[in-house]
Amino acid sequence: QSALTQPRSVSGSPGQSVTISCTGTSSDVGGHNYVSWFQQHPGKAPKVIIYDVSKRPSGVPDRFSGSKSGNSASLTISGLQAEDEADYYCCSYVGSYKVFGGGTKLTVL
Amino acid sequence: QVQLVQSGSELKKPGASVIVSCKTSGYTFTNYAMNWVRQAPGQGLEWMAWINTNTGQPTYAQGFTGRFVFSLDTSVNTAYLQISSLKAEDTAVYYCAREAVGGFDHWGQGTLVSVSS
């Protein structure tokens, strides 16, 4: 299973919005609605912030939103805050398997 | 509350073996699949396998067959990852992650396995 494609880095100023893309194929991202997004701060375990393309676990601010179109999923973070600076990973089911994206480093300027 | 507590860091020599444990609490162990994820230094997340906690049957990602063994002890609600014939490139943080509907909802804190002569 090939890794999903994410931009290596994105940046934005506090209060702005940023979008991180996650591109796969019709076998993974495009084939169902089981796409998750994880936030990982340095030295910490990943934390789920979006699951099933656009659902937010309880406790995750509504500044985080997810969507999908065709073989690509997107994570949008609005009203950027300093604490949003982290690595972000998408993840998709591929039949019985899972595959992660390569990760995107978000810098809050 | 749901907790996944992993064993501590390990420093091993090439060719040795290591066992990483993931002890769970706060939920019914057999109601959720368990996954393992690797993160090499400075690299991204890499999915390794998932284990059916009812049957103990693992499903491995490509590249994690042979030297990697995933197992369970349901009597102590614990999942295990054993890596044999360790190589320098196995140096990484290994995470266990509970799989709920929609994906991985709880993660262990990670276990650093360092392989060096």
* pLDDT tens, position by position, A26-82: 888 888 889 999 999 999 999 999 999 999 999 999 999 999 999 999 999 999 999
pLDDT, residue B24, reads 98
Candidates B45, B59, B62; nearest CB to A103: B45
Contacts 24+ apart (CB under 8 A), B41-46: B41/B91, B41/B92, B43/B92, B44/A3, B44/A87, B44/A89, B44/A100, B44/A101, B44/A102, B44/A103, B45/A38, B45/A40, B45/A46, B45/A89, B45/A91, B45/A100, B45/A103, B46/A100
Is the distance from CB of B73 to CB of B11 less than 8 angstroms?
Answer: no
Chain A, chain B: beta-carbon pairs less than 8 Å apart:
60
Put simply, the answer to whether B105 touches A34 (Cβ < 8 Å) is: no
Between CA A44 and CA A89, with CA A64 as vertex, the angle to 5 degrees is 45
pLDDT tens per residue across span B10-40: 999 999 999 999 999 999 999 999 999 999 9
**Tokens at residue B60, please?**
């491995």
| B58 vs A: CB within 8 A | no
* Closest residue, chain A, to B63 (C-alpha): A1
With beta carbons under 8 A apart, name residues in chain A contacting B65: none
What one-letter code names the amino acid at B53? Answer: T
For residue B103, give the nearest of A3, A36, A102 by CB distance: A36
